[in-house]
């Protein structure tokens, strides 16, 4: 355990300590109440009894005189039950009672006193504690009434001891439990910290430990793991993009270099001219790729969101279809538009036109139903509830279900031979423009062919 | 294709000689640009920074100014704004490494007449510069445009060639109008896409070519002399004479 991760600094331990303090205070209060209602009650009852008896005897002395009092004291002294009596005459002379002499410590009238008494006859005599009350009567007589409180005191000690141990045990157990809990917590936090260190060192496949109890730490680890999966996927995507960029740039550069080298070997102006023309074409292709990458990055950054204006997609659809219709027609295919009115969205005309442009271009390249025939393409536009739906459908080879997500990635071309022109960025741009417009792209099987479905939020005056 | 193909050397620069001001601080880029424009038969002045550029532009002797956006001392957009506030109407082509539509709009709003993102093809730049230079020759209020035996009536939106009416779709009319306004000058595919369709992205296909060849079919059908020419590696041109 690292030194700065002291167990006393953990939130669990602090929580346990605070809880323990509150618990100790309330336990103390409860036990104090128990003590007061048991031991205290018994002591008070004893004192009340003694007091009552003193009053009774004082009354008798007034009514019957010394003889009556002596008679009563002698009678009661013979009874067993732990009652103690002593009646002294003037000058501390013994008159009656079961105590030989007034205990030392009695100095003034009407005081409570604890004093030792001897119970039983030697050799089994034992010392007990007694508690008594002494009053001075008229004519120099002193009366002491007491009770053997030995059992009571023993009971009090037992209770006190029990209370002490109860508090002590709860403190020890609470501290120990807090320590153990904190150590367990700390161990799991340390495990998570360790995992993050490994991840930071570069191993993105590492995950936070999950204990399986589904407690808050588990849930935290769970969401951290989800986040890590997302990051890992994005990182892999980035790596794929970087390696694709490298590959897609390296190939034309290699080609360019080879051509120039071959032309230089020829030493012929005609060859030079051809090589330079091809180099320019290759450069233009590379620049187009870079521009497409920049457009995607710009759409993805979201900074264009403020510039979006309300516009009618019907116009854009008509324009783009009109732009492409002659090309499709010339190739022997067809391009048809079926759009319902009211396709209002908040968007960027250029970007949305480019999206349609890319989709129609793809459909023309990959949408032929057979190799002899050019593609027949249908474009639909309609409103579904609060959504504007645009569809571009062809009757070509379509996209397999498992490739539908992948094909949105940069430089992904399903045409492995790459015989058709293109840079594999068209659908990436479509996806990023859709995201910019809070829209969504989806692929469906057109049976046969591909149906690309774009959904955009409908623009209304209220929104 | 049956139509005449002219090489760019034969075609470009033969029509007119303009005095062009280039304001560009990148020495190498500027020297290639100046060389190319001179080879095309134009007289070129070069300014390597903004203040000098503005002073030269304010002389008011140039037919076209080519202004880079990022310049030392005074940036390109400020030069254009100062030119316009001095009531100088010299057409300006803005050059910029920033290719966003937003940047283009900013440039045109400052008073620029055209915008070209770097890197550009020289043929594209030349076509645009010559297009800008010829613009002032045409009176925009003129209701009729003519090229050879072709006549466009902008009021009735009708087209005749040799007195014979030619029926055009609205977009074809717009396309023809743009080509005829630039008659005698090369018009690139990008210029057509920007000015006729108002699209500022690269469609990556020869989508414009089909529209032009359809238009050509309608214009040249039944006529021996082709009117609409393809200039290889550059664009299209309507013959003025």
pLDDT at A338 over 90: yes
What's the mean pLDDT in B146-150? 84
Mean pLDDT of chain A: 84
Q: How far is C-alpha A436 from the chain's CA centre?
A: 32
Read off the pLDDT band of A86 (50, 70, 90): confident
Read off the pLDDT band of A1 (50, 70, 90): very low
According to the model, what pLDDT value does residue B22 have?
92
Q: What percent of chain A has pLDDT over 90?
A: 16
B186-241: pLDDT as tens digits: 898 888 998 898 888 878 778 899 999 999 999 888 888 888 888 887 889 888 76
A77 and chain B in contact, CB less than 8 A: no
Give the distance from residue B104's alpha carbon to the nearest chain A alpha carbon, in angstroms: 13
Q: Which residues of B touch A326 (CB under 8 A)?
A: 210-211, 214
Phi, psi at B63, each rounded to 5°: -85, -35
According to the model, what pLDDT value does residue A320 have?
92
pLDDT at A191 over 80: yes
According to the model, what pLDDT value does residue A434 have?
92
pLDDT at B12 over 60: no
Give the A window 416-445 contacts with B, CB below 8 Å: 421-422
What's the mean pLDDT in A151-166? 86
B119 and chain A in contact, CB less than 8 A: yes
Select from B116, B113, B128 the least CA-distant residue to B182. Answer: B128
Closest residue of chain A to B210, computed from CA coordinates: A327
Read off the pLDDT band of A38 (50, 70, 90): confident
A357 and chain B in contact, CB less than 8 A: yes
- C-alpha count within 13 angstroms, C-beta hemisphere, residue A460: 8
Q: Are A296 and A318 in contact (CB under 8 A)?
A: no
pTM of the model: 0.63
How far apart (Å, rounded) are the C-alpha atoms in residues A208 and B229? 69
CB contact under 8 A, A354 and B204: no
Q: Are A86 and A74 in contact (CB under 8 A)?
A: no
B67-97: pLDDT as tens digits: 998 888 888 888 899 888 888 888 999 998 8
Give the A window 261-290 contacts with B, CB below 8 Å: 280, 284, 287-288
HEC string of A260-297 equals HHHHHHHCCHHHHHHHHHHHHHHHHHHHHHHHHHHHHH
According to the model, what pLDDT value does residue A337 have?
93
A218: helix, strand or coil: helix
Give me the DSSP letters along chain B.
--S-EE-HHHHTTSS---EEEEE---HHHHHHHHHHHHHTT-EEEEESSHHHHHHHHHT---SEEEEESS-SSS-HHHHHHHHHHTT----EEEEES---HHHHHHHHHTT-SEEEESS--HHHHHHHHHHHHHHTTS-TT-SEEEETTEEEETTTTEEEETTEEE---HHHHHHHHHHHHTTTS-EEHHHHHHHTS---S--SS-HHHHHHHHHHHHHHTT-SS--EEEETTTEEEE---
According to the model, what pLDDT value does residue B137 have?
55
Cα separations in angstroms, B22 against A177, A188, A438, B137, B172: 83, 69, 44, 21, 35
According to the model, what pLDDT value does residue A393 have?
93
CB contact under 8 A, A357 and B201: yes
Closest residue of chain A to B203, computed from CA coordinates: A357
CB contact under 8 A, B202 and A322: no
Interface ipTM > 0.90: no
Read off the pLDDT band of A176 (50, 70, 90): confident
A405 compared with B167, residue with greater pLDDT: B167
CB crowding B56-76: b at 16 or more within 10 Å, else e: bbeeeebbbbbbbbebeebbb
According to the model, what pLDDT value does residue A384 have?
92
A contact test, residue of B205, B217, B233 with most A CBs within 10 A: B205
What's the mean pLDDT in A280-293? 84
According to the model, what pLDDT value does residue A67 have?
85
How far apart (Å, rounded) are the C-alpha atoms in residues B38 and B36? 5
Closest residue of chain B to A286, computed from CA coordinates: B119
According to the model, what pLDDT value does residue A3 have?
46
Pairing of strands A142-148, B19-23: unpaired
- Selecting from B119, B121, B205 the residue whose C-beta is nearest the C-beta of A361 gives B205
According to the model, what pLDDT value does residue B141 have?
65
- Selecting from B102, B199, B210 the residue whose C-beta is nearest the C-beta of A353 gives B199
Give the distance from residue B53's alpha carbon to the nearest chain A alpha carbon, in angstroms: 30
A306 and chain B in contact, CB less than 8 A: no
A451-460: pLDDT as tens digits: 999 999 999 8
- Selecting from B99, B202, B210 the residue whose C-beta is nearest the C-beta of A326 gives B210
Pairing of strands A440-445, B158-161: unpaired
pLDDT at B10 over 70: no
According to the model, what pLDDT value does residue B145 have?
83
A236-270: pLDDT as tens digits: 777 777 777 777 778 888 888 888 888 888 888 88
Q: How far is C-alpha A21 from the chain's CA centre?
A: 27
CB contact under 8 A, A353 and B207: no
Most confident of A215-224, A311-320, B69-78: A311-320
What's the mean pLDDT in A199-214? 83
């Amino acid at each position: 355990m690292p030194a700065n991760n002291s167990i006393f600094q953990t939130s669990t331990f602090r929580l346990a300590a605070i809880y323990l303090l509150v618990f100790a205070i309330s336990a103390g209060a409860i036990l104090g109440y128990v003590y007061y209602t048991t031991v205290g009650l018994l002591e008070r009852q004893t004192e009340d009894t003694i007091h009552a008896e003193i009053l009774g005897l004082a009354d008798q002395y007034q009514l019957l005189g010394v003889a009556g009092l002596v008679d009563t004291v002698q009678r009661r002294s013979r009874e067993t039950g732990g009652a103690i009596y002593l009646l002294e005459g003037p000058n501390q002379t013994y008159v009656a009672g079961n105590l030989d002499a007034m205990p030392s410590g009695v100095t003034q009238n009407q005081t409570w006193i604890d004093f030792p008494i001897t119970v039983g006859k030697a050799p089994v005599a034992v010392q007990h504690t007694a508690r008594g009350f002494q009053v001075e009567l008229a004519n120099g007589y002193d009366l002491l009434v007491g009770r053997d409180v030995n059992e009571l005191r023993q009971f009090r000690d037992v209770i006190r001891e029990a209370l002490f141990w109860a508090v002590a045990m709860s403190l020890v157990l609470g501290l120990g439990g807090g320590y153990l809990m904190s150590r367990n917590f700390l161990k799991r936090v340390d495990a998570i910290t360790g995992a993050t260190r490994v991840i930071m060192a570069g191993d993105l496949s590492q995950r936070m430990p999950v204990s399986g109890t589904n407690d808050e730490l588990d849930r935290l680890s769970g969401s951290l793991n989800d986040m890590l999966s997302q990051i890992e996927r994005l990182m892999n995507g980035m790596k794929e993009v970087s390696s694709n960029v490298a590959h897609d740039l390296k190939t034309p550069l290699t080609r360019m270099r080879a051509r120039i080298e071959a032309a230089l070997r020829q030493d012929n102006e005609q060859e030079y001219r051809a090589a330079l023309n091809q180099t320019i074409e290759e450069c233009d292709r590379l620049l187009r790729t870079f521009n497409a990458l920049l457009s995607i990055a710009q759409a993805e950054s979201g900074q264009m969101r403020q510039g979006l204006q309300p516009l009618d997609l019907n116009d854009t659809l008509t324009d783009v279809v009109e732009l492409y219709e002659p090309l499709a027609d010339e190739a022997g295919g067809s391009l048809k538009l079926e759009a319902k009115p009211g396709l209002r969205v908040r968007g960027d005309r250029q970007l949305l036109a480019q999206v349609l442009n890319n989709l129609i271009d793809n459909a023309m390249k990959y949408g032929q139903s057979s190799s002899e025939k050019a593609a027949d393409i249908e474009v639909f536009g309609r409103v579904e509830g609060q959504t504007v739906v645009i569809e571009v459908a062809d009757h070509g080879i379509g996209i397999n279900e498992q490739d539908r997500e992948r094909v949105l990635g940069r430089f992904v071309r399903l045409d492995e031979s790459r015989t058709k022109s293109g840079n594999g960025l068209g659908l990436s741009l479509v996806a990023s423009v859709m995201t910019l417009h809070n829209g969504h792209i989806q692929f469906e099987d057109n049976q046969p062919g591909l149906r690309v479905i774009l959904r955009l939020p409908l623009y209304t005056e209220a929104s | 294709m049956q139509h005449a193909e002219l090489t760019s050397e034969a075609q470009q620069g033969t029509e007119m000689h303009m005095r062009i001001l280039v304001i560009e601080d990148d020495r190498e880029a500027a020297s290639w640009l100046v060389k190319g424009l001179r080879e095309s038969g134009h007289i070129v002045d070069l300014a390597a920074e903004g203040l000098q550029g503005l002073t030269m532009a304010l002389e008011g002797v140039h037919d076209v100014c080519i202004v880079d956006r990022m310049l030392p001392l005074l940036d390109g957009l400020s030069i254009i704004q100062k030119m316009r506030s001095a009531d100088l109407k010299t057409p300006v082509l803005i050059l910029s490494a920033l290719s966003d539509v937003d940047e283009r709009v900013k440039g045109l709003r400052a008073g620029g007449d055209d915008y070209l993102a770097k890197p550009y093809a020289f043929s594209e730049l030349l076509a645009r510069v010559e297009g800008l230079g010829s613009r002032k020759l045409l009176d925009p209020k003129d209701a009729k445009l003519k090229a050879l035996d072709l006549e466009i009536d902008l009021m009735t939106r009708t087209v005749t060639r040799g007195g014979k009416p030619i029926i055009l779709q609205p977009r074809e009319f717009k396309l023809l109008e743009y080509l005829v306004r630039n008659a005698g000058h090369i018009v690139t595919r990008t210029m057509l896409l920007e000015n006729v369709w108002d699209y500022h992205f690269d469609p990556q296909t020869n989508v414009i070519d089909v529209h032009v060849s359809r238009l050509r079919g309608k214009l040249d059908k039944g006529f021996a002399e082709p009117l609409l020419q393809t200039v290889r590696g550059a664009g299209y041109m309507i013959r003025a004479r």
